[in-house]
Structure 1
Amino acid sequence: MKIRSLILTPIAALALAPMAHAQNGGTMARVKEAGELRIGVVSAEPWFYKDPTSEQWAGIGVAMGERMADDLGVALFPVETSWANAVAGLQANQFDIMFVLDAIEARKRALAFPENPLFYYAMGALVKEGSEAKTWDELDTPETRIGVTLGTSLDLSVTEMMTQAQISRFSSNDEATDAFAAGRIDAVVQFHPALVVQYSRLRMGKVLLPEPVDPVATSAGMRQEDSTEFLDWVNTTFADLYAAGVPDELFGAYLASKDIDPNGIPGLLKEDW
């Protein structure tokens, strides 16, 4: 199924801290010495999900971290943060890596990113059932109230692209979706895998990928440091995992865990769209 045909029915500015460099041998040395890989996590399905009962973290980003920690022979240690604080958290050495962090230019001035992408997704919108909008321009009207998650790359994109719509910013994906469910906003803009999961929770509105649809490469941020050992290892690992189709495997497994049929839903490998 082509991504441009996906429609599921009854189914402020980025704040960055100054550049900082890790010391004492670099991240790889710290990970091996401590015996743990610390990853930043934030409540945002399907990337990161904290079970309210067990308080255990799951999601695609967590599963990716588990695979990489296993490769290094260390334990995985999730550190809770937010999208808005992810850059500062990395620079302050609160965690070693943050998955699903897009390598936009502002972040690249503050963090290190691998050349190879983690995987790809596309910007989508959860809109009211009766909406006839098919393009981003048709959503950009003075009457349209759009919700986006503060501090994400989507926050930046929507701010630049939507010059007429009313933009509301929320601290998490769930808060934005809850505002949609309550009728306080008319559309939620998130990347398509997140919207699929959000729709499965709400069972209202419809998910669409407004034209133009462009694949967006997501990545993982790390501290800038003199040693490139950790960065080089992440870069090679991302290439190997992508070539093996692991991102789609993890996405499909997470959808299945939420009783969502992954068939017909574009995955995370753009070549299959």
Structure 2
Amino acid sequence: MKRLVLALLAAFAILASAPPAAHATDPSLVINEIKQRGVLHYPVMSGEEPDFIKDPATGEWSGFYPDWGRQIADLLQVKIEFVETTWGNLAADFLAGRLDLAFGVNPNPKRGLVVDYVLEPIVEGVWTVLARDGFEPRSWRDLNKPEVRLVAQSGSTMQVIAETMAPQATIVLVKNRDQAVLELRSGRGDAIVLADQNAAQLHKAGIGHAIVPSPVLRNPMMTAVPRKDGNQGFINLLANWSMQQRTLGLSCALITKYMAQRGIDLSVVPQSGKYC
């Protein structure tokens, strides 16, 4: 009995000397911070219509990305503040604390080192190329030739695709889509790597023709948030929102709406989940 008492006392002594367990972070901490601030910081980009549309007269933003940002701000019952940036600068913006979230980011392990992804796509599209007149590549192999000048936006997934699927091509890097179009129209580029809806838009404008090269590369629209303690509740909110958008066709319908307003037919990229 004496030995049992001594053993129990020793066990209590060990427990008493152990460091206290770390307190779990409130999963709603980030949501509460945004609500207390009263503003959601959200990225917008010039030269990316109809994804982002800026009214030159009023400075107001529309397009499906700004509309989605407003939906999240409404859910949180806060105002939205648009932060002009580029796809290539998103990681730096997150690190600098300028953004609360970004829609439409692609899976990217390097970016995943500094931001958290919401592992629920909003919608799944496909990657395309917009080819100049007279150029008819049907596969990525057709593009993977030194004489092919393949244009892509610097720092984007389009650059990764170009360098991976067509490493032998002459890859021309530009800052934004407007510059990519200029390369194609001036004859300095043969094709541009683009998301499906953007290729369909330019196809409609008569700037080249949209092609979905084989093998088909999928393009899930993901969401990124800053990596910080207490963002689990925010991630859960965005995952539920994203699932509802995709499974009920809400995201596809909104994209189709903005396309239809411009007479753009997504049937030129029929493999896309944005075509509905």
In the TM superposition, structure 1's runs of 4+ consecutive aligned residues that sit over 6 Å from their partners are: none
CA shift at 1:189, angstroms?
Answer: 0.7
Check conservation: 1:248, 1:267, Cα contact below 8 A.
no
Structure 2 residue 243 is matched with structure 1 residue 213: no
Aligned residue in 1 for 2:32? 29
- Higher share in helix: 2
CA shift at 1:135, angstroms?
Answer: 0.5
Q: Structure 2 matches for 1:161-180, cutoff 5 A?
A: 161-180=165-184
Amino acid in structure 2 at the alignment position of 1:207: A
Q: Residue 82 and residue 216 in structure 1: after superposition, are their counterparts in 2 closer, same or farther (change >3 A)?
A: same
1: distance between equivalents of 2:134 and 2:271?
A: 26
Higher relative contact order (CA 8 A, sep 6+): 1
Amino acid in structure 2 at the alignment position of 1:38: H
CA shift at 1:28, angstroms?
Answer: 1.3
Check conservation: 1:39, 1:99, Cα contact below 8 A.
no
Check conservation: 2:153, 2:177, Cα contact below 8 A.
yes
RMSD value over aligned CA atoms?
2.0
Amino acid in structure 2 at the alignment position of 1:46: P
Which stretch shifts more, 253-262 or 165-174?
253-262
Check conservation: 1:245, 1:269, Cα contact below 8 A.
no
Structure 2 residue 153 is matched with structure 1 residue 141: no
Q: 1:23-44 CA distances to partner (integer Å, 9 max, x unpaired)?
A: xx84312221122222111222
Compute the TM-score of the two structures, normalised by the length of structure 1.
0.84
Which has more radius of gyration?
Answer: 2
2: distance between equivalents of 1:210 and 1:264?
A: 12
Aligned residue in 2 for 1:86? 90
Structure 2 residue 123 is matched with structure 1 residue 119: yes
Structure 2 residue 164 is matched with structure 1 residue 160: yes
Structure 1 unaligned regions, length at least 5? 1-24
Check conservation: 1:99, 1:220, Cα contact below 8 A.
yes
Compute the TM-score of the two structures, normalised by the length of structure 2.
0.83
Aligned residue in 2 for 1:4? none
1: distance between equivalents of 2:72 and 2:56?
A: 25
Q: 1:5-29 CA distances to partner (integer Å, 9 max, x unpaired)?
A: xxxxxxxxxxxxxxxxxxxx84312
CA shift at 1:214, angstroms?
Answer: 2.8
Q: Structure 2 matches for 1:1-273, cutoff 5 A?
A: 26-43=29-46, 44-201=48-205, 203-227=206-230, 228-262=232-266, 266=270, 269=273
Structure 2 unaligned regions, length at least 5? 1-27
1: distance between equivalents of 2:192 and 2:29?
A: 39
2: distance between equivalents of 1:262 and 1:195?
A: 9
2: distance between equivalents of 1:67 and 1:242?
A: 15
Q: Residue 57 and residue 268 in structure 1: after superposition, are their counterparts in 2 closer, same or farther (change >3 A)?
A: farther
SS at match of 2:193: strand
Check conservation: 1:256, 1:262, Cα contact below 8 A.
no
CA shift at 1:200, angstroms?
Answer: 3.0
Task: Report the count of equivalent residues.
Answer: 247
